[in-house]
Structure 1
Amino acid sequence: MKARNGTETNSGEADSGSPARIDSGLIYSRIFDAIVDHRLVPGTHLKEDELCDLFGVGRTRIRTALSRLAADHVIELVANRGAFVCRPSVEEAREVFRARRVIEGHLIRRAAERRNPPMREALTAHLHGEHAAREAGDTARVIRRCSRYHQLLADQADSPIMAGFIRELIARSSLIVAIYEKSKPDKCEIDEHRLLSDYVLDGRADDAAALMDRHLQGIEDRLDLNDKSGPVSDLRHSLGFL
């Protein structure tokens, strides 16, 4: 599963006045990113008519994007009702974090074993961005950067199939956190990203894998695994059509 299927886009590039430029890949990316960034909350109804109006395209492109999102398990297509952002169960939440600990533990070992200057540059630049977001008090950007740190690490392992699995699991984790989070990460947990990077770049594979396991367990420990429901999202605002 290639990240974004090669359709790397900037959400600001969508132009409702130029529908020919808005393919299903861009629509997929905008919705996927809004889910990962907690702008589209679990249970939100992704109405085809509204999406067609927002993106200025026909139903075929919208349905292609929604099919891809359903294949990634971040939305659910319900017969005779439409598409909804998934609401993971408690057992699904636990299973997602079990899977992440196994896969990310393996990938971070691989990254530590193949460390190189481009990896150092990528991790350093990302951590600077995380720090800037925290200093600015930009909660939405902190959430976005923290999620993408794990994807960035996975991408360094030169294992694209597993990195694709992690991309899906990160999206599902975002839904889980949106429903079940009972407390925000403390400073020690946030600083673990820098320590993880240090271990990888020093080639300390065992230390990196052990810390990744503790780090993901810490995120899971912040969850109150009792089902909750909250208000659904406004599509126009969540997808950046202000």
Structure 2
Amino acid sequence: MSIQQIHDPDSSLGDEHKIVDRIYNAVMQQNLPPMTKLSESTICESFGVGRMKARRALLLLASQGIVELRSNRGAFVASPTKSDADEVFEARIHIEPSLTAQVAKRIDARGLKALTKHINKEKAARRSGDRQEIIRLSGEFHVLVATVSGNGFLARTLRELVTRTSLIVAMFGSGKASCCRDDEHEQILEAIKNRDAGRASDLAREHLEHIQLDLDFSQTHQPEPDLVSLLKAR
């Protein structure tokens, strides 16, 4: 199961979940800025679906906090405020350090293999200079830590918080905040491998604080993307 499909897709909503996953990935890669209008007609053109499926996909995205539905105006990529950012990071700082400590205490060989494989993907993306992949993998590391904990509820919660963080970084991120710092995930993984719960917790907290400190709330403008080119299946 992919990270973006932590929700259990209903097979009867296959087209809708394809739309949700592609828009989710575009948000995670910061290719789809906050306040971008997502018209039903554009989604229909991009995915070759009817308006009913486009509408259901937008409702699913709204339920995950990725899209805002505005009366008489349509659907827009969610546009977080500074207050939203403060709340998201407060929630993550409450959840992730203790969760990471629990993972360090309980992780099995399968979980370690999954995290190590993910870190290797991050390294490969950095070596190749693939910024979009770096950004996507940086966010998904946090969801994967929750996933290997075995707590499905926390994994779904972290997925939503990480998605909201991507929107926050897309809106307020400085160059440094576009993705996680180079070696911090590796340090967290090393603490987990060593079963050092205290250090894993401290590193997770410091890591989140670094991301938050790198935000610049004086900048909010993002150019409108070409939605059809961005979302259309290749």
In structure 2, distance between residues paired with 1:166 and 1:140: 20
Which amino acid letter does the alignment assign opposite residue 82 of structure 1? Answer: G
Residue 203 (structure 2) pairs with residue 203 (structure 1): no
Residue 6 of structure 1: which of 5, 8, 12 is its match?
8
Q: State the 4+ residue runs in structure 1 displaced beyond 6 angstroms.
A: none
| Alignment check: 8 A CA contact 1:22 1:55 kept | no
- TM-score, with normalisation over the residues of structure 1? 0.89
Counterpart in 1 of 2:229? Answer: 237
| Alignment check: 8 A CA contact 2:101 2:197 kept | yes
Distance 1:24 1:115, change over 3 A: same
The Cα RMSD (Å) is 2.2
| Alignment check: 8 A CA contact 1:90 1:227 kept | no
In structure 2, distance between residues paired with 1:51 and 1:160: 30
The offset of 1:4, in angstroms, is 4.5
The offset of 1:227, in angstroms, is 5.1
Question: What is the identity percentage for the equivalent residue pairs of Structure 1 and Structure 2?
Answer: 36
The offset of 1:241, in angstroms, is 4.2
Distance 1:129 1:111, change over 3 A: same
In structure 1, distance between residues paired with 2:232 and 2:182: 27
In structure 2, distance between residues paired with 1:227 and 1:138: 24
Counterpart in 2 of 1:101? Answer: 93
- Long gaps (5+) in structure 2: none
Size of the aligned set, in residue pairs, is: 230
Equivalent position SS for 2:175 = coil
Counterpart in 2 of 1:147? Answer: 139
Distance 1:159 1:135, change over 3 A: same
Residue 169 (structure 2) pairs with residue 169 (structure 1): no
- Long gaps (5+) in structure 1: 9-19
Counterpart in 1 of 2:184? Answer: 192
In structure 2, distance between residues paired with 1:236 and 1:21: 21
In structure 2, distance between residues paired with 1:56 and 1:188: 35
